[in-house]
Structure 1
Amino acid sequence: MDPSMILALLAMGAFGGFAAGLLGIGGGMIMVPFITMVLTARDVPEALVVHMAIATSLATIMFTSLSSVRAHHKHGAVVWRIVKLLSPGIVVGSMIGPWIGKQMNASTLAWFFGAFVAFSATQMLVNKKPAAARDLPGTAGMFGAGGLIGVLAGLVGAGGGFISVPFMTWCGVRIHNAVATSAALGFPIALAGTVANIFYGWGEPGLPEYSLGYIYVPALAIIVAASMTMAPLGARTAHRMPVRQLQKVFAVILYTLAAYMFWKAFQ
């Protein structure tokens, strides 16, 4: 891997890690398009590029989540009871999501990812918080909600924050607690999804050297080194300043990345 690619991955990891800590989004929506560019530059077969980008992004969230949740926990913001209730469904859903992705061709998966990112960017730009309409559901309802969060997160390689944060807010959880709890949920999402992506991608023809299933290990290692440094800074920033202006900037960046994935889908 040439030095320019290493620098690009380091910058990507730093930016994604900061976003994960700041907004509880796991960083995946930022990382997937950039990893797609890196793998395309390395002449990875087009049929595998998006699958590998999503899998590698999801694997990075295991480390980013641990780093950012530590900072949130110091502020007493993580609601661990919610983490325990959502995690079983999340684990199941996060193993199903990559299986669904495996059934899609690269163009369909790129289109789906682009649509999800564009929706998430719009949600961030509008910043319309759902009104607290009810309390948290019971055990079965939390399992179902966790399953849906896990399926979507595993499918697009993200930490699930754009689903879990509005859900928790709708159920009366304060926004700072929802963001912090979403960061904690990123770990079971990423762990289950990573195991699934290793299993589903094992022995796939055309995978580049140093791949573990669909996960490209060199990119994973470089991104993690940078993201774990920046995630705590993002989490501290979330507790020290209003993030509305930063949300607008991230929204514009997400629209740009969504446009790239749409272009990739129609190549």
Structure 2
Amino acid sequence: MDFQLTDDQRALRSGVRELLTGRFGREALRTAADAAEPSLDRTLWRELGDAGFFALRLPEGEGGVGLGLPEAVLAFEEAGRVLLPGPLVATHLAAGEVAGAATGETVVTAVDGVLVPWLVASDVVRGDASGAVPVRSLDPMTPLHRVPGGTAGSGAHDPVGTLLAAAEQLGSAARTCEMAVQYAKEREQFGRPIGAFQAVQHLCAQMLVRAEVARSAVYAAAVTGDVREIAGAGLLADEAAVGNARDCLQVYGGMGFTWEADVHLHLKRAWLRAELGQSAAEAEELLATAL
């Protein structure tokens, strides 16, 4: 069976990448990271709506694009590459159910456990956020609230949401792998690029393996839609995003620990995504039960 992307899927991925790199490139990323308080770019949100980002899986008869889960995964992978902030998954899942979500006019967040991202900036909150209190977020671009009495790993997570979050993790893992390889080519030590040293080569090779294994799992789960495969894809994507960001930081050396480098932003977002939605323990239990 051929699981290669079709020409239309490649064109979709290319178009989303062009849009996101043009509107949320490194300068915009750094501006968002350096801001005193995280804020949502409503203009960009509406542009995503105009491009069909939130309505990708909505039938054409309902004003959507009429594509499937594999195409949505490709779009969210690109969002993960650039660390696009905002409740992207919740708004996408609300398209067709919440007025304005499909077009980007309405920002939607969801209560899915203990932590709720972008609560104040959202127009619609799906779930009970009563008594939610703001907490300090590890990710400087994602504001968080904690719901008193909320339960992590409640088992009520939408499998599609879990997969789209995994796609974001995949995009981040692929990007940090590229960043490490590029830096290894440019940074010199002892008169040679550090990429010439075997230890650095091993780190980069390990990063590539993680990203590609996660990619295979995420893409396969997008085709089958099986909840068990989605759980496995989420585990592998979280591992790839966190592990690759850590290894990328090692390749960067002391520079990687500075605020000026972007590596820490990928690591912090990967850590945060791994804590939102379906937990690793819950996914492991689901897979163990299936076995």
| TM-score, scaled to structure 1 | 0.29
- Structure with the largest fraction of strand: 2
Q: Looking at both structures, which has the greater relative contact order when contacts are Cα pairs under 8 Å and sequence separation is at least 6?
A: 1
Which structure shows the bigger proportion of residues in helix conformation? 1
